Chains A and B, each alone.
Chain A
Amino acid sequence: MSKRTKDVIIWFVTFFIMLIICLPGLWIILSAFRPNGEILTKPAIWIPQNLSLDNFRAIFGMGDNVVAIPVGSYFRNSLVISTTSTFLAIVIGMSGGYAFARFQFPGKASAFLWIMLSRTVPGIALSLPLFIIWSRLGLIDTPFGVILVYTAINVPFTVWLIEGFFRQVPHELSEAAQIDGCTRWQAFWKIEFPLAKSGVVSAGIFAFLTSWNEYALASQLTRSTDSKTLPAGLMDFTAQFTIDWAGMCAMAVIIIIPALILTFLVQKHLIAGLTFGGVKG
């Protein structure tokens, strides 16, 4: 077998595997545009007969079929909670990451370890005490309560990621800027921050995706349209008498679209972000 034929075969094998990986997701996306009736038909209809945006209209309460689930509010909650907690996690992460990257202080290594260790706590295990405490404090089912929690679970990751990016920026640059007449604060914003910006942005996108996708905590700490997020809201469908598969698929697409765009945007930083500090210590 010549090397060329071998290459072609490998290409098709890889392509085929990629196709299999994509199929489940594509199936959901396709179903989101099909009417529920068609999905439920037996024997199965393989070639979609009529594709439409009806399911999306329905879940947002527009059009003829109205779904009882307030996806619009959930979407708004998800957006508010994810953006706010991401912003906070980025600010805190930049501050903490900078401290780890630039300063020596006693207990630095163990502080880093403990911050990272807080990430290992399973969401469901953390939800128990938070559920009790948040109930007492009146934070249950409030966007603020969820934002607080998401900020806390994102901080270890943003600190870690941003620390790696700041470490890449030689500290002499800040010193040079200070000699050139900057205060330390100016040196940070004019020199160090622009150079670590891409890292900060990708840390932000990671944090946003974590918040956007989180379920274990949201399912316990939110209840109503006041604060329920999309992932937690998706389960509303299962509580109904008959499962509205088409509606769920449409909602799934709503959840996936921002994730799709953002992941695509950061894919270059994704690998860098994940391997930073991990391999090159």
Chain B
Amino acid sequence: MKKIRQCLREHSVPLALLAPAVIIILLVVLLPLIFSFYTSFTNYRLIKPETLWQWIGLRNYQRIMGDWAFWVAFGRTVLFLTIALNLEMLLGLGLALLVNRITWGQRVMRTIMMFPMMFSPILVGFQFKYMFNDTIGVVNNALQSLGLTHEAIPFLVDRWLAFFSISIAEIWMSTSIFAILILAGLFAMPRDPIEAARVDGCNNWQVFRHITLPFLMPFIYIAMTIRSLDVARAYDVVDVMTGGGPAGRTELLWTLIARTAYDDARMGRANAMAYVSILLSIFFTWFFFRKLMQARKHLGAF
């Protein structure tokens, strides 16, 4: 006890400076999460306040573990993230390499490249909902005007097309983060190793594979880490575009949570699902953060 008090006195300045940040996160994030952890063990329904005290142990978790719809949504979420993150990474890499190659008008290109980053997820969702609409959407209109199809293609209704559509929206939204960060990496890249490799007889592909790419890896992992911090932004996109529907065909973990909590008013069960989603986010972040640390250690120079 005495030691704690002495420690507090010795570090009173930094602790005081840190206090506001800690307090607000404690009040608005941590305590609510503890509360929701508790409710995940109750049968709490929004419409029946007294059910907040109805302790039902692990039953919510057992329920969702045995719930086919939950697992479908969970699997779809993981699939969605895997596809989206990988494609964003590849497209972003390609884009960055292209922009890095050009010299004339590079700054303008770079600014244009960041255009999607200015769009909030909700706008991205709305934008693609508007474009993929089967009656007035520009995509269908274009296909019909070009005579490629006479029927309206139900982009947001068909199971796989809808999945495809939300993936397109997600990829459009987030590719530029990868492109920007990888471009930053390319700018920071020293010339010597590339020249040395060329002298050693590497061709373009070998230089890319053995010099450029390893150097870019930390930047790619930073982008991955930043992206996994806010993967749940996809909720906004999907909520606007399809709302998880029709008939749960584009249901992701997050839309399922919202539906369970607010439409079905089953707060307890929704909180149990929310914990799964939090763990998922933490897992993704942790995974890429570790990769980042490894890549940095591997390069040493940083």
Contact = CB atoms under 8 A, between A and B. Distances in A.
Direct interface between A and B, CB < 8 A: yes
Interface of A: 7, 10-11, 13-15, 17-18, 21-22, 24-25, 27-28, 31, 39-40, 42-44, 46, 91-93, 95-96, 98-100, 102-103, 105-106, 111, 115, 117-133, 148-149, 151-153, 155-156, 159, 209, 212-216, 219-220, 231, 234-235, 238, 245, 248-249, 252, 255-256, 259-260, 263-264, 267, 270-271, 274-275, 278-281
A125 B274 contact: yes
B229 A106 contact: no
Given A44-B141, A132-B39, A252-B127, 18 more contacts: A7-B101, A10-B101, A10-B102, A22-B112, A92-B20, A95-B20, A99-B13, A106-B7, A111-B22, A122-B281, A128-B36, A128-B257, A129-B33, A153-B29, A213-B123, A235-B240, A255-B122, A275-B222
Nearest to A271: B184
B81 interface: no
Contacts of B105: 11
9 shortest A-B CB distances, which residue pairs?
A213-B120, A122-B232, A152-B28, A103-B14, A125-B274, A96-B21, A129-B32, A44-B141, A129-B36
17 contacts: A14-B102, A25-B115, A27-B131, A44-B136, A44-B142, A44-B144, A92-B21, A117-B285, A121-B33, A121-B281, A123-B233, A125-B254, A127-B261, A129-B32, A255-B122, A256-B119, A274-B222
Contacts of A95: 17-18, 20-21
Contacts of A123: 232-233, 235
A245 to B, nearest CB: 6
Given A117-B282, A152-B25, A279-B296, A128 B136 contact: no
Contacts of B262: 131, 220
The interface residues of chain A, by DSSP majority, are classed as: helix
B98 A152 contact: no
Contacts, number: 275
Given A119-B229, A255-B120, A278-B225, A267 B145 contact: no
Interface in B261-287: 261-262, 267, 270-271, 274-275, 277-278, 281-282, 285
Contacts of B11: 103, 105-106
A141 to B, nearest CB: 15
Q: Which of B22, B102, B111, B126 has the most CB of A within 10 A?
A: B126
B197 interface: no
Nearest to B91: A17
A40 B25 contact: no
B96 to A, nearest CB: 11
Nearest to A20: B172
Given A96-B18, A152-B29, A252-B126, A281 B296 contact: yes
A259 B141 CA distance: 29
A103 B11 CA distance: 8
B115 to A, nearest CB: 6
B39 A93 contact: no
B106 to A, nearest CB: 9
Contacts of A280: 302
Contacts of B1: none
